[in-house]
Amino acid sequence: MRKSLCVAYIAVALLLCASGALLMPFDRLQDGASEKRILAQFPALTSDGALNLNFPAEFEAWLSDHSGGRRQLTSMYGRLLAAIGTSSSGQVIVGREGWLYFRETVPDYAGESALSEDELTRLDCVMRQINDALAECGTELIVAIAPNKSTVYPGYMPAAYPHADAPSNATRLMALGGMRYVDWVALLIGHAGEGLYYKGDTHWNELGARYAAAALIREMAGGAELARVPDPDAPRHTLRDYVGDLTQMIYPINAPLEDRLVFEDDVLARYRFVGRMRTLEDINISTEGGEYPLRALVLRDSFANALIPWLSGAFTSVDYSRRMPLPLQNAEEYDVVVLEIVERRLRELLDAAPVRYARPAAPIAREGDVGAVAYARPEAGGVRIWGVVDAAPARVTECAVQIASPGKTAAYFAYPVGGDAGFSLLLSELCEGATAIVRFTGDEVITSREVSITLVS
């Protein structure tokens, strides 16, 4: 009898251990989309012609990600942890009263990612460079910064995360002025009591999107009255059928639902998609058919998903792009370019320069004594030139690079991106053996020595 119990115990234990693998053929819906990550792929036995020594670890990762019933167990675990105020996902913070927050927004909330004065002026320089480049071809630039949920609703964040008492990066950037901003931050904070964001999602809900779209459409049309501006006060009802992206990350299956607003005037059939459109997450989307005669390019992220119906219904032609670096090479084809970017991603604009040929700048009279390195590679039908100088002034307001090659010397405006003393510009061509002199203007003017440009593949 005792031996039989031991055998049964071992059999049950083995069956439980193998249950994940045994259930795999019956659980084929796992793709990682709900968790916003890519699941581990089945590893190869060989790598670069040799035995893959990492196979055991990679196989374990694959088995863990694809075991049958994993989503169900993950959801059960998520519910258990949420009940005690914590999260089963490293990307999600469980706040008060069921509110969820994206962990990447915590540095903004706590003031840990506040732009330094030097970073702020460089970012402003980048924005003005884009604005001036578009203005030369008759195109207007409008910048709309979508506030993080924790900016509009800080009161539901856990007490363990201290709230910075200083102005946000978005507010500080807009305060510098000099170009057209749509102040969504002040607008949405002013209407926060109406409930503008989903509890379980990173993004605003239909009401928040209406306020944002109405303000942006009016700015794009220069204040003209448009029939297609959404009305935030339109009659509405609710349907309890929405699952937020943060909710899905904690509960991959059987996620709790929350209310979705359905506006009774929400009829936007006067535009059509051009070409193939699979989802609102597509990299490129084009629409036509709106009422107001304006061609617009909207450089956007996922916050614009809910704006697409309204912008497309308002204007005759709208192209949407999620590409980075910012694709501005054909900006002259548009009347307006809108840069929509969420607050937590502002610093990304200092990583890489937009894709557009550089504008001529005033000649640099002589080289300086600061060291520099410069590189070049083919890009976007031209040549990208970038590098770094040994020192740059504080609070940079302008950057220029003078390129010298046999028979030609010309200076161009460059973007101060890629580090505190980095620069980048795009030219249509570059002769072999070209040299560069870099000039930064800020609290002082610093000019580099003339340096050779190294070609890289």
Closest CA to 355 of 321, 335, 330: 330
pTM of the predicted structure, to 2 decimals: 0.84
Mean local confidence (pLDDT), 257-276 = 86
Tell me, yes or no, whether 362 lies in a domain: no
**387-392 average pLDDT score:** 97
Q: What is the pLDDT of residues 130-167, one digit of tens each?
A: 999 999 999 999 999 999 999 999 999 999 999 998 99
Are 303 and 436 within one domain?
no
Q: Which CATH number goes with the domain that contains 398?
A: 2.60.40.10
What does the pLDDT look like over 355-371, one tens digit per residue? 999 999 999 999 999 99
What pLDDT does 440 receive? 98
Q: Are residues 296 and 336 in the same domain?
A: yes
Is 264 exposed, middle or buried (CB count within 10 Å of its CB: 0-12, 13-18, 19+)?
exposed
Does residue 317 lie within any of the structural domains?
Answer: yes
Residue 77 has pLDDT above 90, yes or no: no
Structure tokens at 8: 């049964």
Same domain, yes or no: 337 and 389:
no
Same domain, 328 and 423: no
- Is there a domain that residue 56 lies in? no
Q: Is residue 407, in this structure, part of any structural domain at all?
A: yes
The reply to whether 279 and 426 lie within a common domain is no
In this prediction, residue 60 has a pLDDT band, given cuts at 50, 70 and 90, of low
- Residue-level pLDDT at 42: 62
Q: Provide the percentage of residues in the chain whose pLDDT is more than 90.
A: 72
20-35: per-residue pLDDT in tens?
455 455 455 555 555 5
What are the tens digits of pLDDT across the range 393-435? Answer: 999 999 999 999 988 999 999 999 999 999 999 999 999 999 9
Statement to judge: residues 142 and 280 lie in one domain: yes
Confidence of residue 269 (pLDDT cuts 50, 70, 90): low
Question: ∠319-322-327 over CA atoms, to 5°?
Answer: 75
Asked, as a colleague might, if the bond just before 360 is cis with ω within 30 of 0, I would say no
Are 141 and 277 part of one and the same domain? yes
Q: Which of 328, 381, 309, 395 is nearest to 137 (CA)?
A: 328
Confidence of residue 177 (pLDDT cuts 50, 70, 90): confident
Range of the domain at 431: 372-455
Per-residue pLDDT at 108 exceeds 80: yes
Of 350, 380, 411, which marks where a domain is finished?
350
Rounded to a whole number of angstroms, the CA Rg of the chain reads: 27
Same domain (yes/no): 220, 276 = yes
Question: Does residue 344 fall inside a structural domain?
Answer: yes
Out of 318, 350, 382, a domain closes at 350
Residues 345 and 383 in one domain: no
Asked whether residue 86 carries a pLDDT value surpassing 70, the answer given is no
Across all residues in the chain, what is the average pLDDT? Answer: 87
Domain boundary pick from 350, 382, 413: 350
DSSP one-letter code for 350:
G
415 bridge partner residues: 424
User: Is the domain of 219 the same as that of 295?
Assistant: yes
Amino acid identity, residue 13?
A: A
CA trace torsion 350, 352, 356, 358 (10° rounding): 70
Structural domain includes residue 91: no
Q: Is 173 in contact with 128 (CB distance < 8 Å)?
A: no
Judge whether 169 and 343 are in contact, CB under 8 Å: yes
Would you say 301 and 341 are in contact if contact means Cβ atoms under 8 Å apart? yes
What the block records as the tokens of 107 is 């540095």
pLDDT at 411: 98
CA pair distance 164, 115, nearest whole angstrom = 13
Are both 451 and 344 inside the same structural domain?
no
The reported pLDDT for the residue numbered 226 is 72
Does residue 427 lie in a domain region? yes
Q: Dump pLDDT digits (tens) for 214-244.
A: 999 999 999 777 767 899 999 999 999 999 9
215 CB burial (10 A radius; 0-12, 13-18, 19+): middle
Domain count, the chain: 2
Provide the token pair at 36: 């916003």
| 213 and 331 co-located in one domain | yes
Q: Which of 71-80, 231-240, 380-389 has the lowest mean pLDDT?
A: 71-80
pLDDT top residue among 60 and 107: 107
Domain contains 15: no
Spatial distance between the Cα atoms of 219 and 225, rounded to a whole number of angstroms: 11
